Chains A and B, each alone.
Chain A
Amino acid sequence: GAVVSQHPSRVICKSGTSVKIECRSLDFQATTMFWYRQFPKQSLMLMATSNEGSKATYEQGVEKDKFLINHASLTLSTLTVTSAHPEDSSFYICSARPPPGQDRGEQFFGPGTRLTVL
């Protein structure tokens, strides 16, 4: 149980285009999902907290107009990188937290999406 998927696993796009990454909780409902960015051999940097049915909460320094987050259902959150540039190239990871009552503390992570902007 507690499986989180991400799609696509890898994407290459041209500078100036937008890319959408999906994060799905497959066997549980996730009222809260998190989006992280990771550079090679570095730690995870939390970008935003996504709550179902409400606006995402962005961490300081993260541009909300560039990284659009939509948590439209209890099993799906999407991250759209708008007008992508080479400096946006990174590994993006999502995680999901079960709802209260099922939450035992840990988050469950997706396999990640490797974004390369040319």
Chain B
Amino acid sequence: AQSVAQPEDQVNVAEGNPLTVKCTYSVSGNPYLFWYVQYPNRGLQFLLKYITGDNLVKGSYGFEAEFNKSQTSFHLKKPSALVSDSALYFCAVRSHYNQGGKLIFGQGTELSVKP
């Protein structure tokens, strides 16, 4: 069965410090991995994805994520956090076998960046 785990409900970071939001996954076959961000009462905005190629993926707003196959992880990172990064972050996975494109979402991690 496919699953995604985000072990931290909340991550607190001081502005200017690096941030990491963790994600591990379980999927049959090669994974397609995604990070989305959600601001209050809004839909999800796409940040970045890993389909194939370089394990380090760069995305929007200075975020990046590293695909680690041996650890089945896809942690989201940013070198220097901004207060405006405070939001709810979702990791999602899809198996490349899944031609229907259905995404499995993690439970979400609330990121709080304090000045």
Contact = CB atoms under 8 A, between A and B. Distances in A.
Interface of A: 4, 6, 32, 34, 41-44, 46, 49, 57, 91, 93, 95, 97, 103-112, 114
Interface of B: 32, 34, 36, 41-46, 49, 51, 88, 90, 94, 100-103, 105-108, 110
B34 A6 contact: no
Contact of B100 (A49, A104, A110, A114): A49
Contacts, number: 55
A108 B102 contact: no
Contact of B44 (A6, A41, A93, A104): A93
A41 B100 contact: no
- Residue from B44, B45, B46, B90 whose CB has the most chain A CB atoms within 10 Å: B44
Given A6-B43, A110-B43, A42 B49 contact: no
Nearest to B48: A106
Given A42-B108, A106-B34, A112 B41 contact: yes
A42 B43 contact: no
A97 B88 contact: no
